[in-house]
Each structure stands twice: as structure tokens, then as C-alpha cells.
């Protein structure tokens, strides 16, 4: 009697990918198991064709810093949101997550910079109006009140300008974003 061929199987929970895998297999006229096996073979061939990976230091890390590999399971929606958020910041997904963990990321920085710029321009206009009113006011008490208010507006303008400078200084200036 010929010896029975043993099967080596690997069960994989595809989660939300299962309908996509089934559709892709059907489009190629294959059963899902055969399609997945072919995809794994291709992935393994590509992996073996790659040279040994050389450790690189990411732009956001110090040379010689200990690196810990991190992985997470995300829903398709969460993954898409992470890619979009990281892309909007001009960062890789790993850099985005690292900065969020460190608390050094200001989400949607471009929007924040634009809003601070509009706020600063509005404060400047109010300051100029108050200065003009104080110069034309006949009552010394009104003049003092307007001058005091103008000083408060100028202090707020400085604070907004400083915040604007800090936020915009952290923006990537290279070709990535």
C-alpha cells in the first residue's frame, strides 16, 4: 500500500479579510485555500529574494537607542484612520504612534497652524481698533480702559504667536511632508 501523503495545515483567522480573500480567489477561479497557499508562496519567495535587512535608525530616534518591536490588531477602519492621520502629519505609521505615545504630536498640525494664524490676525485687528478708539476717546477713564484692554489683546497676540511658532517649528520641512 502506498504511504498516505500527510497534510500540513495552518489555521489562520482572517477576520474581516475572509470575504475579500474569497472574492479574490473566485476572481482567479481558485478555491480560497489554494489562493491563500499561492499568496503565501509568493510572499515567501519575495522574502527570500530580499537581502538581509540592515538595521536602520528612524529619523525620530536617537542612534543606539534600544528598539522594541510593537504590533497591534486593528480593524480595517482603524487601520485606514491610522494611515490617513499619519499621512496628514507627513509621518510613517510607526512614527505617528511613537509621537502620540510620547505626547509630542499635535494632531492635525496644519489645521492648528492655520487656525492660530487666523486667530492672530483677528487679535491684531482688534488691537488696532482699540488703539484707535483710545486715541479718539474724550473721557480719560474710557481711554485708560481701552488702553488696558489693548494691552491684554497684545499679550494674547504674543501668546498666540509663540504657540504658532512652537507648533509650526515641529512641522516636517523635508520632502516627506
Assigned domain for 141 exists: yes
Query: Are residues 80 and 140 located together in one domain of the fold?
Result: no
25: containing domain: 15-46+67-102
- Decide: 24 and 35 in contact? Cβ < 8 Å: yes
Q: What is the value of pTM for the model shown?
A: 0.34
Neighbours of 35 (CB within 10 A): 19
**Using CA atoms, how far apart are residues 86 and 107, in angstroms rounded to an integer?**
9
Going from the C-alpha of 170 to that of each of 2, 109, 167, the distances in angstroms are 70, 9, 6
Query: Are residues 98 and 19 located together in one domain of the fold?
Result: yes
Query: Are residues 87 and 164 located together in one domain of the fold?
Result: no
pLDDT attached to residue 41: 73
Residue 171 predicted with pLDDT over 50: no
Q: How many domains does the chain have?
A: 2
At 142 the three-state DSSP class reads helix
pLDDT attached to residue 110: 67
Query: Are residues 93 and 139 located together in one domain of the fold?
Result: no
Confidence band (pLDDT; 50, 70, 90) for 83? confident
Amino acid at each position: 500500500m502506498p504511504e498516505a501523503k500527510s497534510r500540513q495545515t495552518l489555521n489562520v483567522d482572517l477576520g474581516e479579510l475572509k470575504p475579500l480573500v474569497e472574492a479574490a480567489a473566485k476572481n482567479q477561479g481558485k478555491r480560497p485555500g489554494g489562493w491563500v497557499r499561492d499568496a503565501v508562496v509568493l510572499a515567501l519567495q519575495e522574502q527570500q529574494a530580499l537581502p538581509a535587512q540592515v538595521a536602520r535608525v528612524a529619523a525620530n530616534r536617537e542612534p543606539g537607542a534600544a528598539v522594541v518591536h510593537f504590533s497591534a490588531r486593528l480593524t480595517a477602519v482603524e487601520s485606514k484612520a491610522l494611515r490617513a492621520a499619519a499621512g496628514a502629519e507627513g509621518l510613517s505609521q510607526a512614527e505617528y504612534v511613537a509621537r502620540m505615545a510620547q505626547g509630542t504630536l499635535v494632531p492635525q498640525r496644519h489645521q492648528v497652524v492655520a487656525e492660530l494664524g487666523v486667530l492672530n490676525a483677528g487679535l491684531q485687528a482688534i488691537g488696532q481698533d482699540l488703539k484707535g478708539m483710545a486715541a479718539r476717546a474724550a473721557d480719560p477713564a474710557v481711554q485708560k480702559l481701552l488702553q488696558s484692554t489693548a494691552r491684554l489683546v497684545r499679550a494674547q497676540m504674543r501668546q498666540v504667536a509663540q504657540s504658532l511658532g512652537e507648533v509650526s517649528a515641529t512641522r516636517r520641512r523635508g520632502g516627506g511632508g
